[in-house]
Amino acid sequence: MKDNFDQLKNSWQEVKKGQLSTDSTTMLQSILKHQAASKHTHLMNILILSITVIGLMAFFYFLAPMQETLSRVGIVLMIGGLLVRIIIELVSHRKAGQIDYSKNSSFSAKQTSDFFSYRKKIHGPVTFIIITLYTIGFYSLTPEFSNYFSTFWLWMMDGSYLIIGIILFLVIRKGVVQEMKDLQRINDLQSSLNQS
């Protein structure tokens, strides 16, 4: 992996000098391919989140129309959190598409650094707040569900949310850690290019 970044650094230095070699072109194509994959991931996140929102709305409208205020607040927190995350992914998709690696290194370094900072905030406090609000929303449904389900099934529902939540957290965290490593490497590389 280090060799790829050294090649990338050399390629960008050649681009800065106006000497675009075949290796530089190949590296630029590789970067653009990575950028396209990142944008595709954002679109897939949007699709999955949108399907989840539609599923929740259909569930609460057709199968379990909640009547109590606390339950309705919970539904708003759950669906609202997902909608905020969809908007964040749309903005991320747009920001990733605006990074122009074919420009000089200082211009693309600024764009990459801004995108890295943005994604770091999203994966940190913003995601934590969204998950917390979603969880509060989910557990706000428990009092009204207790009118329809036995205590055993309530415990099963609430417990399964924790288990599924932990599994999803671990899977998502793995992807986030990899994205942050990739963005940090590109950010560090571009910073070193600006110093040379």
pLDDT band at 113 (very low <50, low <70, confident <90, very high): confident
When pLDDT is averaged across residues 93-115 and rounded to a whole number, the result is 77
Q: What is the pTM of this model?
A: 0.77
Write the burial class of residue 190 (CB in 10 Å: 0-12 exposed, 13-18 middle, 19+ buried). Answer: buried
Query: In the predicted model, is pLDDT for residue 110 greater than 80?
Result: no
Question: How far is the C-alpha of 155 from the C-alpha of 125, rounded, in Å?
Answer: 29
Q: Alpha carbon of 8 to those of 47, 57, 154, 185: distances in Å?
A: 32, 47, 55, 11
pLDDT band at 117 (very low <50, low <70, confident <90, very high): confident
Q: Rg (Cα) of the chain, in Å, rounded?
A: 22
pLDDT tens readout for residues 77-99: 999 999 999 999 999 999 888 88
Q: What does pLDDT average to over the chain?
A: 79
Between residues 121 and 186, the one the model is more confident about: 121
Query: In the predicted model, is pLDDT for residue 55 greater than 70?
Result: yes
Query: In the predicted model, is pLDDT for residue 45 greater than 50?
Result: yes
Query: In the predicted model, is pLDDT for residue 4 greater than 50?
Result: no
Confidence at residue 2, expressed as pLDDT on a 0 to 100 scale? 45
Q: What is the DSSP string of 155-190?
A: HHHHHHHHHHHHHHHHHHHHHHHHHHHHHHHHHHHH
Q: Are 68 and 143 in contact (CB under 8 A)?
A: yes
When pLDDT is averaged across residues 29-39 and rounded to a whole number, the result is 73
- The conformation of residue 102, written as its DSSP 8-state character, comes to T
